[in-house]
Amino acid sequence: MHTKTLTELAQGLRSGKFSSLELTHAFLARIKQHQYLNAYITVTEEQALQSAKAADQRLASGNAELLTGIPIAQKDIFCTLDVKTTCGSKMLDNFTAPYNATVVEKFNQAGAVMLGKLNMDEFAMGSSNETSYYGAVKNPWNINTVPGGSSGGSAAAVAARLTVCATGTDTGGSIRQPAALCGITGLKPTYGRVSRYGMIAYASSLDQGGPMTQNAADAAIMLQTMAGFDEKDSTSVDLPVPDYRAGLNNSLAGLKIGLPKEFFGDGLNNDMAATLEIAINEYKKLGAEVKEISMPNLKLAIPAYYVIAPAECSANLSRFDGVRYGYRCKNPVDLADLYTRSRGEAFGKEVKRRILMGTYALSTGYYDAYYLKAQKIRRLISEDFKKALADVDVIMGPVTPTTAFGIGEKMDDPIEMYLSDIYTIAINLAGLPAISIPAGFIRDMPVGLQIIGNYFAEDRLLNVAHQYQKVTNWHHHTPKGFE
């Protein structure tokens, strides 16, 4: 059963081929069998079995939704009632959320079965899932390599079939990059499309939750549940949610694809460029038109992002002070000692680095020179995309410069690690939707193709991805040993 897609499992549940309880038992057994991947922080076995029994009753009554009875897993950045929510950090190792994030609540209402909480880079700060307090996640395609981050646990769990689908969050590529490195489909929706309520904040103007699945058709089902206005989230956009499955089979004849020359320059691995060229040629066969475009400000995305995101993280993480909840140092001498030691002992190296960078950028005398200038660059990047998307329907390019790199390979070189997100960060700065889909292999390691669309055009992205997946089989591949 674990080899089936979300769509196939939903059909099987409705036809009575198997029950949600049987399905849940099967996935819980796989999680235990493959614990060495370290994809899960918390497995909610008892809760999952209870939810599966309730789902079976709902299925029998004929009152089921598409996700009813489907096993899913939540990135451990989403608050879950009465279940530990750690954000991959020692700071929250003892934190049990008193409420559900809106995304979690939506899945609960749909009757989905939560298997557990997935490992991630600490407070979503990382590109390899190595900054987690709970240890690095292993890529199931090669356990000596990283799965990407920060949603590495989500990507590895879906790739290894330890869950049917998973949630992720994307601040600078944290859904798309691990999706590419693990050979799955990952969608970052338009900023504001999915509620951020109950999603522990890293950088509030960039963070966005989204689905991670085997294919685009499954992502459409997940997004249908996740998307929508939420009055509890001030950044949520009050727009109707379309039927994301309705247009999946629309023809791509006449589709205009833009290829930014800045994406295909010297920084891109030659093998990666050749693999992506083959993928883009498939779109030509489907009737699409391809043209080169230029987006001159893309080269400024990395420096702008690594001013804006740390600045926002500096403010957001100030709440973790050892006073209200989370980790508290032992026997503090005074309040200053409580703050200093609690934060010093509970935050990891990368989180501390970004807090310091952000605090510096926001400090008196440096705000205009760094933060304000970065926001101006952000506007220029948005204008680049606006101009390009007025001329083409979608933009395509790489997700990552290379395939998955070795565990420990870049941990001592933060700049090299940051460059892992060179092709994804600009999309977050602009607030646009983008999807990563499996597009081939280089020496047995997966390659992702990134497709970027206009604001709130997730239905078009899913259509473009689905049509490619109808004529290719890259998304059907499973890592050896996880079949």
SS (H, E, C) 87-108: CCCHHHCCCECCCCCHHHHHHH
Q: Any bridge partners for residue 194, and if so which? A: 227
Q: Is the pLDDT of residue 127 over 90?
A: yes
Give me the domains of the chain, ranges plus CATH numbers. 6-255+400-476 (3.90.1300.10), 299-377 (no CATH)
> For position 272, what pLDDT does the model report?
96
> For position 364, what pLDDT does the model report?
84
Distance CA 263, CA 278 (A): 16
Structure tokens at 82: 């009465």
pTM of the complete model: 0.96
> Is the Cβ–Cβ distance between 428 and 173 less than 8 Å?
yes
> For position 483, what pLDDT does the model report?
86
Distance CA 290, CA 298 (A): 20
141, HSE (Cβ side, Cα atoms, 13 Å): 28
Q: Is the pLDDT of residue 267 over 90?
A: no
Omega before 150 within 30 of 0, i.e. cis:
yes
Kind and range of the H or E run holding 74: strand 71-75
Query: Which listed residue (75, 138, 188, 410) is catalytic?
Result: 75
> For position 77, what pLDDT does the model report?
98
Nearest to 117 by CA among 106, 130, 101, 128: 101
Most confident of 20-34, 259-273, 361-375: 20-34
- Which segment of 89-98, 289-298, 306-315, 412-421 scores lowest on mean pLDDT? 412-421
Model confidence band, residue 1 (pLDDT cutoffs 50, 70, 90):
confident
> For position 266, what pLDDT does the model report?
79
Q: Write out pLDDT tens, residues 429-454.
A: 999 999 999 999 999 999 999 999 99
Query: Which listed residue (20, 89, 127, 174) is catalytic?
Result: 174
Over residues 359-363, the mean pLDDT reads 93
Structure tokens at 284: 């030509």
More confident residue, 162 or 265: 162
> For position 304, what pLDDT does the model report?
96
> For position 415, what pLDDT does the model report?
87
Neighbours of 240 (CB within 10 A): 8
Q: Write out pLDDT tens, residues 132-158.
A: 999 999 999 999 999 999 999 999 999
**Known catalytic residue: 174?**
yes
Structure tokens at 248: 């999946």
Q: Is the pLDDT of residue 118 over 90?
A: yes
Write the DSSP string, 365-417. Answer: TTIIIIIIHHHHHHHHHHHHHHHHHTT-SEEEEES-SSSPPBTTSSTT-HHHH
The residue whose two tokens read 């700065």 is: 429
**Known catalytic residue: 376?**
no
Over residues 242-258, the mean pLDDT reads 97
Q: Is the pLDDT of residue 358 over 90?
A: yes
**Known catalytic residue: 89?**
no
Query: Which listed residue (19, 51, 150, 436) is catalytic?
Result: 150
Number of H-type helices and E-type strands within the chain: 15, 11
% of residues, the chain, pLDDT over 90: 94
Model confidence band, residue 394 (pLDDT cutoffs 50, 70, 90):
very high
Q: Write out pLDDT tens, residues 397-432.
A: 999 999 999 999 999 898 889 888 999 999 999 999
> For position 419, what pLDDT does the model report?
87
Q: Using CA atoms in the order 14, 18, 20, 22, what is the torsion angle rounded to 10 degrees?
A: 180
The residue whose two tokens read 């590529």 is: 173
> For position 153, what pLDDT does the model report?
98
Q: Write out pLDDT tens, residues 52-71.
A: 999 999 999 998 999 999 99
Q: Is the pLDDT of residue 365 over 90?
A: no
> For position 233, what pLDDT does the model report?
97
Q: Is the pLDDT of residue 175 over 90?
A: yes
The mean predicted confidence, pLDDT, of the chain is 96
Write the DSSP string, 163-200. Answer: SSEEEEE-SSSTTHHHHHHHT-EEEEPPTTSB--TTB-
28, HSE (Cβ side, Cα atoms, 13 Å): 19
Q: Is the pLDDT of residue 80 over 90?
A: yes
Over residues 184-207, the mean pLDDT reads 98
Q: Is the pLDDT of residue 475 over 90?
A: yes
